[in-house]
Amino acid sequence: ASHQIGRAADSWLTPMADRKMSYEEREVIAEASVVKPNMQNVNGNWTKAHQRLILRAASYPQVERVFINPGIKKKLCDTVQGADRNLLSKIRPIYGHNYHFHIRMKCPPGSQGCDDQVDPPNDSGCGKPLAEWLDRVRPRPVVKPTKPVKVVKPKYLTLSGLPDACALVL
């Protein structure tokens, strides 16, 4: 919904082409994920340029949040140093953002019916909150049942099991 009202935009992590692309090419270009299939870490597509771009987006005071994949957040937590580390509070993990990131803008001054989000916590978001996100996407071992599972046949509802009013409609 935030995209529809103009408060949000997505920015691809796929590098720009070295030429002007046609409309058709832009519509079918494959996105390039920067996250490994385990969703825990970035892959070989990740570059320092990606990091600079995400930090730049978060640096603007008009930007309320930047949403990224938990694996990207982990990479930023592991590598961002100095004053840029303060920007990590705005950069939050969310699923489905392995080839792009989401920028949420603050409400324009004086706009009615627009509510800003609560300010993010003053911490980097690299501790327990990130660990919880990473735990949710961590692959789980397949547990085989120790005894055969009894398959329960479904009970079908018949006309006699319905209220009288239903019988009249049918």
Round the CA-based radius of gyration of the chain to a whole number and report it.
Answer: 23
Report pLDDT for 3: 66
Report pLDDT for 2: 66
pLDDT-flagged residues of the chain (< 50): none
pLDDT in tens, 111-125: 887 888 888 888 899
What's the CA gap between 88 and 124, in Å, rounded?
5
Look up the pTM and report it: 0.76
Report pLDDT for 150: 77
Pairing verdict, β 63-68 and 91-93: parallel
Report pLDDT for 119: 85
Report pLDDT for 96: 84
Helix, strand, coil share of the chain (percent; to 5): 30, 15, 55
Report pLDDT for 170: 66
Report pLDDT for 113: 79
Burial category of 44 from C-beta neighbours within 10 Å (exposed 0-12, middle 13-18, buried 19 and up): exposed
Report pLDDT for 4: 64
Contact indicator for 2, 104 with CB cutoff of 8 Å: yes
Contact indicator for 91, 125 with CB cutoff of 8 Å: yes
**Cα distances (Å, whole numbers) of residue 87 to 8, 10, 46:** 18, 18, 19
